[in-house]
């Protein structure tokens, strides 16, 4: 099946098996995801429009108990329910348009650059001339937009489970979804876990896992079998960068990810982070790993994309200095993570 995007570039929509809808999921918190997160009611049961502060969106979740970041809502632009999650877009008074999945903020127009640029350029500037890149998740297209900056890249595959996320992003976030317009992009709507299993061994130079949090459709993307599939899909010395949560909120999840990655990836294993004002705790981390092969020194990028004059859209957030600094951890995190990472 094929679908046309806004620019008339044809993107392929394959028939990879689609994961079962989340209502049927009763995993009970296995594989490093705490029971408390898997069994408590989550935000899909309400829209996120605050019952406490009328006219505000409040982000309430068992993943960050006892706190709720709020944004003033000018107008709700879209509300829908896909096979996997509730999807909402609203116009905020200070952060532009906001994309929310199951009551959790995925991006705002104002600060999305801090996430999309870092999750993309931390891995891609760490290896010479990446050619084939896979994105798992990332249905808003922002990571694609960033990968498209690399002239060395010949092929960009993306596997996003939720078609509604892609459609809503194209409609409401054209400056983010612009990534889908690159002719090197092939869009697969389906389960990233199944997609990776079908990929030929050693296919990709880099895999970027732009997932939501590990409750709901993205849970398997934080588990060991998934990391093993990623490692298999990468060439020797290939790299993965995956959303790896907050050191303030989820050290238990991060320690689980680090332990799994240390077993699976025989090259480098490092944790980096960035600020994102609209994510809980104001920051989010990334796990960066490489497979056995040519050494990858994530802390010292081999390519300075910020000095590449051919960029048509200037980078808003990432630069080479921030790249190296992103791997410096607060002491409490260094003790918990640093001792386990190479
Ligand atoms: N392309 C943007 C998609 C964003 N993916 C990550 C969303 C994470 C949201 N929750 C953050 C919670 C931090 N602990």
- All domains of the chain, ordered by start, with CATH? 56-107 (2.30.140.10), 111-338 (3.40.50.150)
> Average model confidence (pLDDT) for the chain?
87
In this structure, the residue with its CA closest to atom 11 of ligand 1 is 279
What are the tens digits of pLDDT across the range 107-149?
999 999 999 999 999 999 999 999 999 999 999 999 999 999 9
pLDDT value at residue 212: 87
**Nearest atom within ligand 1 for CA of residue 119:** 1
Residue 155 CA to residue 188 CA, distance in Å, equals: 13
The pLDDT of residue 306 = 87
Two tokens, residue 302: 């081999």
Q: Tens digits of per-residue pLDDT, 265-300?
A: 999 999 999 999 999 999 999 999 999 999 999 999
Q: Which H or E run includes 330? A: none
pLDDT of 54 reads 84
Q: Give pLDDT, residue 51.
A: 65
What pLDDT score was predicted for residue 278?
98
- State whether the beta carbon of 245 lies less than 6 angstroms from ligand 1: yes
Cβ–Cβ under 8 Å, residues 44 and 86: yes
Please give the backbone phi and psi of residue 85, each rounded to the nearest 5 degrees, phi first. -165, 165
**Which positions of the chain have pLDDT values less than 70?**
1-47, 51-52, 339-342
- Read off the DSSP letter of residue 211: -
pTM for this structure? 0.88
213 lines ligand 1 (CB under 6 A): yes
Distance, CA 261 to ligand 1 centroid (Å)? 20
Q: Cα 121 vs. chain centroid, distance in angstroms? A: 13
Q: Which two tokens stand for residue 257?
A: 């990810």
List the catalytic residue out of 157, 191, 205, 210: 210
Residue nearest atom 8 in ligand 1 by C-alpha distance: 212
Pocket test for ligand 1, best of 252, 280, 284 (most atoms within 8 A of CB): 284
Q: Identify the pLDDT of residue 341.
A: 54
* Sheet with 56-58: strands ordered across: 56-58, 70-81, 86-92, 97-101, 104-108
* Centre of ligand 1 from the C-alpha of residue 293, in Å: 31
What H or E segment, with its residue span, contains residue 169? helix 163-172
């Amino acid at each position: 099946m094929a679908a046309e995007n806004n620019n008339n570039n044809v993107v392929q929509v394959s028939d990879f098996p689609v994961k079962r809808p989340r209502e049927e999921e009763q995993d009970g918190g296995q594989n490093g995801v705490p029971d408390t997160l898997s069994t408590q009611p989550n935000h899909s049961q309400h829209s996120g429009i605050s019952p406490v502060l009328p006219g505000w969106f409040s982000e309430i979740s068992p993943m960050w108990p006892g706190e709720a970041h709020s944004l003033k809502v000018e107008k709700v632009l879209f509300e829908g329910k896909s096979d996997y999650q509730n999807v909402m877009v609203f116009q905020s008074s200070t952060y532009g348009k906001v994309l929310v999945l199951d009551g959790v903020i995925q991006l705002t127009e104002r600060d999305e650059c801090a996430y999309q640029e870092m999750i993309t350029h931390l891995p891609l500037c760490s290896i010479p001339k990446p050619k084939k890149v896979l994105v798992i998740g990332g249905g808003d297209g922002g990571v694609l937009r960033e990968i498209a900056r690399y002239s060395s890249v010949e092929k960009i595959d993306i596997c996003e489970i939720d078609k509604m996320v892609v459609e809503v992003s194209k409609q409401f976030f054209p400056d983010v979804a612009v990534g889908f317009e690159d002719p090197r992009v092939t869009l697969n709507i389906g389960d990233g876990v199944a997609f990776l299993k079908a990929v030929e061994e050693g296919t990709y130079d880099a895999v970027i896992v732009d997932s939501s949090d590990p409750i709901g459709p993205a849970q398997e993307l934080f588990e060991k079998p998934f990391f093993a599939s990623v490692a298999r899909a990468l060439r020797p010395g290939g790299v993965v960068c995956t959303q790896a949560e907050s050191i303030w909120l989820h050290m238990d999840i991060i320690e689980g990810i680090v332990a799994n990655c240390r077993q699976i990836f025989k090259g480098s294993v490092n944790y980096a982070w960035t600020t994102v004002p609209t994510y809980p705790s104001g920051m989010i981390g990334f796990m960066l790993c490489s497979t056995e092969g040519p050494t990858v020194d994530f802390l010292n990028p081999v390519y300075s994309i910020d000095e590449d004059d051919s960029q048509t859209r200037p980078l808003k957030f990432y630069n080479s200095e921030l790249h190296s600094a992103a791997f410096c951890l607060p002491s409490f995190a260094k003790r918990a993570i640093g001792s386990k990472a190479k």
